[in-house]
């Protein structure tokens, strides 16, 4: 029996997850029961005596396993945001079971036969565009996962998928353990020179929480980033930078080198088994970019524009460091420090000047105000639904008529059981069933600076843009309005999914938007417009270097997945080769990015990291449209809402984009915004 606490629909307000009633020991038996239930639903479809139809096969398939999907969402979201050893152990047990179940579907011959029968008769079915998309997606989910393979090759595929699911989990666990393991205690006050008061106070509070005297710094971003950006002590910057850069690259039991090599070899083997040249060829077939050659051309085109600018910026930074402190060779642990000093000199602007204007609560309300002006949404904080940690904020989202749109969870501060970074996720998708529009439950998770005893949570400008970025993803989920769950919200091509998030960052640079929320936390004074002008002017500071950095990650990703990994024996040597044309800083033998590159080895970005830059092209082009008409122009906002945010994956993303914009996106918009070509 499925445990009562995990039986859906939940007998809770808006069918929200009853976190307080869920016990860790409930998960494994519930997963097993839900898989059993989902298998029966699949078998009923596969063995039906009725002639295969769109409704009894394709639609039935899309709505099958609803119980399992809800439980999986809850469990794996907890594993990212509030994990512990027990949950991690369950994840290792459950992941192979889910992988096996997934294969049970895609390798089910009777089921595929029915899907294929519907697919082959699609011309006679008079389907809507959304139905046609669902049919294509379901057919491809079989053909791209081995349905046309012989029995022995199907067995091979099952074994590969099972192993990959375990390796990816282990990769992430090792990175999290490495992040949590490192603690840098400082007892000499002189070693804090250069650090802002807020960073020092947070470090002191962290030390006290461990019953230690002094100041504690960790690899969590709100601790790590201020230290490498402001600490005058070069040796300590070096120490923490090398530790951060060598996560899971120390040859111990948390080492990920063999895991990386095994993952890329298994992915390549899987792609070959399915008839694709490489893993990248397999992945990109279902992306806007379409082929590895197109991705390479895209990255090379941007590299051609960015590299000369990056090299000049780096030379200027070296000259500045030499002139200021007599530094002969700029190293990785110097970059953020001297960049910040040069930025302050050039723009008289630093994050410590800005932070008082970006109290977390005000920024949240600012994001809500922007969403209200653009998309007619209202956000009300509620206290009558469960949350998985006391830090989590919960909101009810409604439209102008007061109709329920979504539940929204927001989780902002780092803690031990939470992985680094920021992400959006969902606890329940949107769909229409039996005439009822079932609304989504959306969450964003970040790692921002915590409040201290004397100050509220004051965000760096980078944290402000991160919040708006994740909130953009959340809007994509909240405003979903499709029939089928697998096409809803962020279920779009991977190189399209970053458009809604990245476009929202643009409002952080606009006076009209900043006036809504950027007020001093003590005086209530609106951010001075000269600071706003400096924010805008500094937005393209070191854009060449930033672009080169992003491109280097995309090139590293493609180097792992766009060729045969059989020849790769050393993770470090392979990475160095991939970086040789994009490196500015000297090589450090102790560090390796790949062993902690969670986006491509744990998350879903393999052969897809380029999509951040791809989406920047889309967002720069899209925001030019807003700028032309006014950043809160309702006509443009409605077109974006109706053609992008609400449509999910119901149509080809380029079709949706052109319907919104009236044209294909142009890279020149990004290059103009970045200052890499003239306005």
Q: What residues are labeled active site?
A: 470
Distance (Å, whole) CA 575 – CA 593:
8
DSSP string, 537-593: HHTTTTHHHHHHHHHHHHHHHHHHHSS-GGG---HHHHHHHHHTTT--SPP-TT--S
CB 104 within 8 A of CB 146: no
Instruction: Strands of 128-285 (E only): list them.
Output: 184-186, 215-217
Q: What is the 3-state secondary structure (H, E, C) of 135-202?
A: HHHHHHHHHCCCCCCCHHHHHHHHHHHHHHHHHHHHHHHHHHHHHHHCCEEECCHHHHCCCCHHHHHH
Helices (H) and strands (E) in the chain, counts: 27, 9
Helix, strand, coil content of the chain in percent (nearest 5):
60, 5, 35
Query: Can you tell me the distance from the alpha carbon of 601 to that of 168, in angstroms, rounded to the nearest whole number?
Result: 6
Using CA atoms, how far residue 302 sits from 294, 504, 579, 605, 621, in Å, is 13, 22, 16, 20, 15
C-beta neighbour count of 150 within 10 angstroms: 9
Identify whether the C-beta of residue 271 lies closer than 8 Å to the C-beta of residue 282.
yes
535 vs 553: CA distance, rounded Å: 26
d(CA 621, CA 623): 6
First-to-last alpha carbon distance for the chain, in angstroms, is 64
| Residue 621 and residue 661 in contact, taking contact as beta carbons nearer than 8 Å | yes
Q: E strand or H helix at 653, and its extent?
A: helix 653-661
Cα angle 369, 479, 18 (rounded to 5 degrees) comes to 95
Distance of CA 418 to the CA centre of its chain: 14
Cis peptide bond N-terminal to 9, omega within 30: yes
Give me 573's structure tokens.
Answer: 């040597």
* Separation of alpha carbons 175 and 249, rounded Å: 10
**Tokens 């096996």 identify what position?**
100
Reduced to 3 states, what is the DSSP secondary structure of residue 357? helix
- The DSSP output letter for 454 is S
Strands 404-411 and 441-445: parallel
In this structure, what token pair is assigned to residue 242?
A: 């090398």
* Helical pair 335-347 and 221-230, crossing angle rounded to 10 deg: 70
Q: How many CB atoms lie within 10 A of CB 310?
A: 23
CB 670 within 8 Å of CB 620: yes
Contact 299, 555 (CB under 8 A): yes
With tokens 């992985």, the residue in question is 419
Tokens coding 78: 């907890």
User: Is the separation of the CB atoms in 664 and 658 below 8 Å?
Assistant: yes
Instruction: Answer for the pair 582, 548: CB distance below 8 angstroms, yes or no.
Output: yes
CA nearest to 540, candidates 672, 668, 665, 350: 672
**Distance between CA atoms of residues 602 and 561, nearest Å:** 14
Q: Enter the DSSP assignment of 509.
A: G
Cα–Cα distance measured from residue 220 to residue 418, given in angstroms and rounded to the nearest whole number: 10
């Amino acid at each position: 029996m499925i445990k009562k606490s995990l039986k859906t629909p939940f007998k809770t307000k808006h069918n929200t997850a009853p976190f307080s009633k869920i016990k860790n020991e409930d998960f494994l038996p519930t997963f097993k029961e839900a898989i059993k239930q989902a298998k029966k639903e699949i078998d009923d479809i596969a063995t039906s005596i009725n002639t295969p139809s769109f409704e009894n096969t394709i639609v039935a398939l899309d709505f099958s396993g609803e119980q399992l999907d809800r439980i999986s969402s809850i469990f794996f979201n907890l594993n990212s945001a509030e994990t512990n050893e027990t949950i991690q152990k369950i994840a290792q047990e459950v992941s192979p079971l889910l992988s096996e179940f997934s294969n049970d579907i895609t390798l089910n011959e009777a089921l595929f036969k029915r899907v294929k029968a519907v697919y082959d008769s699609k011309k006679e079915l008079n389907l809507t565009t959304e139905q046609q998309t669902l049919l294509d997606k379901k057919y491809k989910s079989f053909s791209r996962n081995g349905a046309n393979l012989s029995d022995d090759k199907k067995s091979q595929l099952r074994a590969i998928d099972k192993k990959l699911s375990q390796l990816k989990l282990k990769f992430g666990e090792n990175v999290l353990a490495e992040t949590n393991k490192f603690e840098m205690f400082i007892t000499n006050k002189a070693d804090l020179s250069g650090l802002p008061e807020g960073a020092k106070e947070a470090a002191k509070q962290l030390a006290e929480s461990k019953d230690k005297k002094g100041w504690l710094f960790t690899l969590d971003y709100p601790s790590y980033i201020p230290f490498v950006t402001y600490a005058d002590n070069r040796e300590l910057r070096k120490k923490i930078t090398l530790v951060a850069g060598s996560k899971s690259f120390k040859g111990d039991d948390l080492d990920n080198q063999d895991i990386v090599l095994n993952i890329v070899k298994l992915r390549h083997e899987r792609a070959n088994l399915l008839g694709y040249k490489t893993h990248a060829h397999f992945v990109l077939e279902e992306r806007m970019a379409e082929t590895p050659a197109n991705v390479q051309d895209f990255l090379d085109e941007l590299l051609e524009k960015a590299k000369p600018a990056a090299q000049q910026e780096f030379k200027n930074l070296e000259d500045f460091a030499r002139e200021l402190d007599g530094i002969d060779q700029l190293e990785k642990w110097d970059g953020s420090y001297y960049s910040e000093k040069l930025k302050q000199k050039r723009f008289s602007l630093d994050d410590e000047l800005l932070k008082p204007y970006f109290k977390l609560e005000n920024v949240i309300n600012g994001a809500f105000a922007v969403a209200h002006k653009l998309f007619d949404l209202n956000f009300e904080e509620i206290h009558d639904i469960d949350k998985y940690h006391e830090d989590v904020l919960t909101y009810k989202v409604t439209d102008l008529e007061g109709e329920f749109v979504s539940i929204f969870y927001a989780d902002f501060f780092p803690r031990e059981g939470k992985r680094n970074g920021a992400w959006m996720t969902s606890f329940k998708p949107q769909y229409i069933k039996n005439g009822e529009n079932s609304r989504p439950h959306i969450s964003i998770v970040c790692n921002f600076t915590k409040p201290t005893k004397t100050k509220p949570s004051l965000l760096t400008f980078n944290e402000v843009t991160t919040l708006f970025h994740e909130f953009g993803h959340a809007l994509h989920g909240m405003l979903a309005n499709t029939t089928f769950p697998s096409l809803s919200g962020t279920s779009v091509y991977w190189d399209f999914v970053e458009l809604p998030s990245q476009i929202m960052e643009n409002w952080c640079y606009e006076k009209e938007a900043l006036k809504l929320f950027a007020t001093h936390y003590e005086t209530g004074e609106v951010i001075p417009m000269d600071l706003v002008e400096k924010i805008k002017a500094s937005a393209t500071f070191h854009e060449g270097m930033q672009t080169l950095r992003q491109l280097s990650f995309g090139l590293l990703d493609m180097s792992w997945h766009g060729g045969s990994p059989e020849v790769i024996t050393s993770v470090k040597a392979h990475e160095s080769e991939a970086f040789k044309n994009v490196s500015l800083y000297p090589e450090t033998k102790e560090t390796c990015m790949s062993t902690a590159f969670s986006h491509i080895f744990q998350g879903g970005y393999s052969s897809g990291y380029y999509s951040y830059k791809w989406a920047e092209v889309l967002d720069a082009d899209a925001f030019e449209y807003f700028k032309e008409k006014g950043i809160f122009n309702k006509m443009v906002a409605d077109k974006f809402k109706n053609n992008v945010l609400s449509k999910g994956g119901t149509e080809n993303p380029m079709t949706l984009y052109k319907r919104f914009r009236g044209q294909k996106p142009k890279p020149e918009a990004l290059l103009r915004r970045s200052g890499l070509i003239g306005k």
